Amino acid sequence: MKKIAILLFTLIFIISSLLFAETNTDKPQTLLNKGKYIPDIGTFLQIGANSPAGMSWDGDKVFFTSSSSGSSQVYRITDEGWPYQLTTFEDGIDFFVLSNNAEMGIVGASIGGSEQSQLYLMDTETGRVLKLTDYQDVQMGSVVWSNDDNSIYYRSNEENKRDFFLYQMDIATGDRKKIFSNPGYNSIANISEDDNLLLIYTFTSNVNNDLHLLDISTGESQMLTPADEGDALYISPTLMPDNKTIWLVCNANDDGKARIAKMTVGSTDVEFVNDGFIDPMWEVEGIGFSRDYKYMGAQYNEEGYNRLKIRDFATGKELPAPPLDGMLGFAGADKNGNMLLSFSGPTQAPECWLWNPHTQELKQLTYAIYAGIDRKIFTEPKLVKFKSFDGLEIPAFLYLPPDYDGKPIPFIVNAHGGPESQFQPGFIRNFQYLMLNGYGILAVNPRGSSGYSKEYMNLDNYKNRKNSLKDYKASVEWLIKNNYTEKGKIGIRGGSYGGYVVLGMITEYPDLFSAAVDNVGIANFKTFLENTKPYRRALRESEYGPLSDPEFLDSVSPIFKAHLIKTPLLVVHGENDPRVPVSEARQIIKAVQDNGGIVDSLIFPDEGHGASKRVNVIAEYRKQVEFFNRHLKPMVVDNKE
């Protein structure tokens, strides 16, 4: 009996030891992989993003911008491959323009989201900066370096706060002079190789611009584009070394799709280059050349995705494109034919890559952090199309949770800004978080969106404003019909013009949504146009309708139907917004409160047209998640995710 007891004890000890050893050995792995791990929304918003900002001609220096520090700053990649931070502006930077010798750069920076950028000269080796301009409530930008790096050219609205005139500044002395004083919204496209001519954009609306050519030495300019052809866009123009030929992208053709074209100085004719390089069914978004004009890169829009093609410019021969499937952009080339690219995708944070089409060597240059989140849990969207009230086909991107089982789930309809813009399936951190938490998202490109032809883009102009709202209504009906969601589980959110869409939808269709988030949106078109920055007013009147037609502006302004709002509303805005003044937010908040509706708000004192500082971005999305959970997932009230 004693021997049996000893044997049993020994057996139990051995089994226990084995179990204990197994538990100890696997404990870290078991704990990390136990259950469904979904990080907090704040963790998702720590995922980085890197964008190319220039490369030296010899290829030895590469610069990029990143918000890794919490706001957008400039970095240089060291010889060891390390990202060396060059700027430390508290509010981040607005833009960066590298000099031709790559030894200097111009930084544009503003305070508190005001967008009133001032210019700084930066040493690209040390990051030392010198402030070049210091004006209150003035915006500067569109910087171009002379080829000898002795001067910069830029635009400024300092004279009357409305018109952007063009200036030249001597980098050695700081002396400057006005060189172009045509009224309007002027920007610099590029400078001739001999430093004698400037190619200039003048925008009259978001869908129309003209080109001018300025002789810097004489101050004389000539208009290159026809004056009476109606709306047309001339984008990405490059003046070739002969100072006569201009390569560009233009949509002044029969089907209104932007395509590669040529012009000759002295003639307003546009010659479209139909050589099969880009499939004519897709719109071209921009072209760019290497400094020696040996290579041309063309970015085109394929159903919302940015694709890239490269060619040897002299021979016209197409060169191999990098094997990267997603959102691709051409950011320049060095003398050895290495090309600096931007790349991102629905499950890939934006990065900088180097591609040589001759050797087909592909190298990733930057590595964004993923904050401990496994990219394998991210989900790709699906392109869908549905018919609107008048039979027009509307494209949208459908995002579903990875474990979607075909039953109705909470859904958020996403309204993009613009409206002459397009939702594109880049890397959107909060989308991935929402899907992992059981939400579906439908990102709609209604009539008025860019990327589908000039005709499609103009379908919501002026008196047709509310037709685009009907497209969003049709999107909800499509979701319900296909059993993706059901009444009581549907929310909507949007920013800028998308914020107007949110307010328009919950006033025109009060019973459609159960939660709505308006981010920097327009509530009253009349007060918006009166209070937006003067340099923006004419451009916006051409889209929304003129102040001289107050009756129409009132008819499309949600503020006058605020008494119809039943949908719980969250309003987010920045105190320093120069585009849509914060008074728009305060108007709608007060109106909903006065009518006894449900409204919450988040007004940032140190932000402008959307939050940019990481601490504020996290605060905003925490509030959005809690808000949607409260109203679309009643069983998770007060969820602190």
Instruction: Supply 460's token pair.
Output: 């919501």
Residue 21 predicted with pLDDT over 80: no
pLDDT, tens digit (0-9, with 9 covering 90-100), for 126-183: 999 999 999 999 999 999 999 999 999 999 999 999 999 999 999 999 999 999 999 9
pLDDT, tens digit (0-9, with 9 covering 90-100), for 319-355: 999 999 999 999 999 999 999 999 999 999 999 999 9
Q: What sign has the CA pseudo-torsion 553, 556, 561, 565?
A: negative
Per-residue confidence (pLDDT) for residue 2, from 0 to 100 = 42
Cα dihedral 560→566→567→570 (10° resolution): 60
pLDDT, tens digit (0-9, with 9 covering 90-100), for 522-567: 999 999 999 999 999 988 888 888 999 999 999 999 999 999 999 9
Per-residue pLDDT averaged across 48-73, rounded?
Answer: 96
Q: pLDDT > 90: what percent of the chain?
A: 87
Domain boundaries in the chain?
275-369, 375-633
Per-residue confidence (pLDDT) for residue 9, from 0 to 100 = 38
Q: How deeply is 439 buried, as exposed, middle or buried, from its count of CB atoms within 10 A (0-12, 13-18, 19+)?
A: buried
Per-residue confidence (pLDDT) for residue 207, from 0 to 100 = 87
Asked whether the beta carbons of 266 and 278 are under 8 A apart, the reply is no
Q: Would the pTM count as exceeding 0.85? A: yes
User: What H or E segment, with its residue span, contains residue 474?
Assistant: helix 465-481
Q: How deeply is 66 buried, as exposed, middle or buried, from its count of CB atoms within 10 A (0-12, 13-18, 19+)?
A: buried
pLDDT band with cut points at 50, 70 and 90 for residue 638: very low
Residue 1 predicted with pLDDT over 50: no
pLDDT, tens digit (0-9, with 9 covering 90-100), for 409-443: 999 999 999 888 999 999 999 999 999 999 999 99
Residue 197 predicted with pLDDT over 90: yes
Residue 49 predicted with pLDDT over 80: yes
Per-residue confidence (pLDDT) for residue 232, from 0 to 100 = 93
Mean pLDDT estimate for the chain: 92
DSSP 66-86: E-TTSS-EEEEE-TTS-EEE-
Which of these CATH numbers, 3.40.50.1820, 3.30.470.10, 3.90.1200.10, 2.40.50.140, describes 375-633? 3.40.50.1820
Per-residue confidence (pLDDT) for residue 50, from 0 to 100 = 97
pLDDT, tens digit (0-9, with 9 covering 90-100), for 227-260: 877 889 999 999 999 999 999 999 999 899 999 9
User: What H or E segment, with its residue span, contains residue 249?
Assistant: strand 245-250
3-state class of 435 per DSSP?
Answer: helix
Residue 403 predicted with pLDDT over 70: yes
β partners of residue 197: 215
pLDDT band with cut points at 50, 70 and 90 for residue 461: confident
Q: What angle do CA 432, 434, 436 make, to 5 degrees?
A: 70
DSSP 439-456: -EEEEE--TT-SSS-HHH
